Amino acid sequence: MTIPLRPDVAFVLAALRCDPGAARAQHDAAARVDDWDAVARFAVAHDLAWWVSRALPRDGVPDAVRAEISGAMRGAAVAALAGTRQLLELLQLLRGAGVRAVAYKGPALALEVHGDLGARRFTDLDILVRQGDRERARAALAAAGYASPSGYTASEERFFSRWEGVAQLACDGKLPVELHWRCQAPRYGGPQDPADVVARAVPCALGGGTVMVPSPEDLGVLLALHGVKHAWGSLLWVVDFAAAVSRPGFDWALFASRAASWKVVRAVHFAVLVAHELALIDPPAAVLHAARDDARAAYLSRSVVARLTLAPHADLGGQSTARYDLRWLDGAWAQLRYLGLSVALPTPQERRLIRLPDVLLPLAYPVRAWRLLRRAGGWRA
């Protein structure tokens, strides 16, 4: 880490470390903190209360700060217990419908890579199924009361979720559910059908039951993509990735091979460099050298690290934009595919502009072209 850090940021980053030098780094960082309220604000903003709580020194921390961090931890733990029960019910429901489903992120990730259900806060449950199982999965969830929270008709929900590969579903009194049948949206390339990810899934004991989760190397690539596509808007996502690839027995060669086969090498380089610059991972030399030799990934990682550590004049925002996406995609063909599909494929914004009857939903394609032309011409859409 070459960026000068504010004392509160330095302490939080030290709290995230789990290497042999972590305890000394935490002790030294705590000695330099002059505003523990800033530590609490930064930790809570990035959902890192679990880590920071364990690193707080016994003396010198105001009671109000301890209470704020403890409160955030309790809230995450309570939500995790409720989310775990709901996830187990959902997976049992899908098994009964003959659907092999994989738990992605949420409580399974908290327990599998961090060792504690309360380690990470989550606001929804992500479930991955094969493309061929999506209709059975949707029907099973619909029968259990899950529906679009946006008032979509069944046809609208299918039409507007088709190209993203994820259905947003809600049921009264329960966490929202994201049902994924693509590894990522087509504009990003890579594998679309997660059938191989589902086939390679491994069991994870959770809440008295067993759920299937992505294999370690698949999870590493998926978490890298998740962080990259969301412009690393939270330090928690970096911690998730770092913990996933730091587990004993993690196969770095297979991880790199999978990234190459998915054509997301730059995204993985980007993730490796961000986690390494924040002192959260120490990857094999060959992996680190390959990432550093990727000039665009190196630039992106420096920008993200500067933003996440609150460095002055950080030049990359925390929002995913077309300009940002074009920087991390692998090569000119991937960029052209992204631009073409981004322009051509309808989004829920077209629905907000003009509500079409179900039989006329294909007209959303020209509506999108019209909206983009109006925006390009400076007119209000």
Q: How confident is the model at residue 381 (pLDDT cuts 50, 70, 90)?
A: very low
Q: Is the dihedral of CA 144, 214, 149, 369 positive or negative?
A: negative
Q: Picking from 19-23, 176-180, 183-187, 310-314, which range would have the lowest pLDDT averaged per residue?
A: 310-314
Q: Above 80 in pLDDT, residue 159?
A: yes
- What global pTM score does this model have? 0.92
Q: Which residues contact 111 (CB under 8 A, 6 or more apart)?
A: 117, 119, 204, 206
Q: How confident is the model at residue 115 (pLDDT cuts 50, 70, 90)?
A: very high
Give every strand in the sheet of 125-128, ordered side by side: 102-104, 125-128, 177-180, 166-169
Q: Which of 10, 36, 145 is nearest to 90 (CA)?
A: 145
d(CA 107, CA 83): 7
CB atoms within 10 A of CB 363: 14
pLDDT at 359: 87
Q: How confident is the model at residue 161 (pLDDT cuts 50, 70, 90)?
A: confident
b/e map of 300-309 (b: 16 or more CB within 10 Å)? bbbbbbbbbb
pLDDT at 356: 85
**pLDDT tens-digit series, residues 329-375:** 998 999 999 999 888 888 877 887 888 888 888 888 888 888 777 77
Query: What average pLDDT is seen over the chain?
Result: 91
pLDDT at 315: 58
**pLDDT tens-digit series, residues 133-149:** 999 999 999 999 999 88
**pLDDT tens-digit series, residues 50-85:** 999 999 999 999 999 999 999 999 999 999 999 999
Q: Picking from 88-92, 107-111, 137-141, 312-316, which range would have the lowest pLDDT averaged per residue?
A: 312-316
Q: Above 70 in pLDDT, residue 316?
A: no
Mean pLDDT of 255-278: 96
Mean pLDDT of 27-49: 95
d(CA 121, CA 144): 25
Q: What does the angle CA 111 – CA 114 – CA 120 come to, to the nearest 5 degrees?
A: 80
Mean pLDDT of 257-264: 94
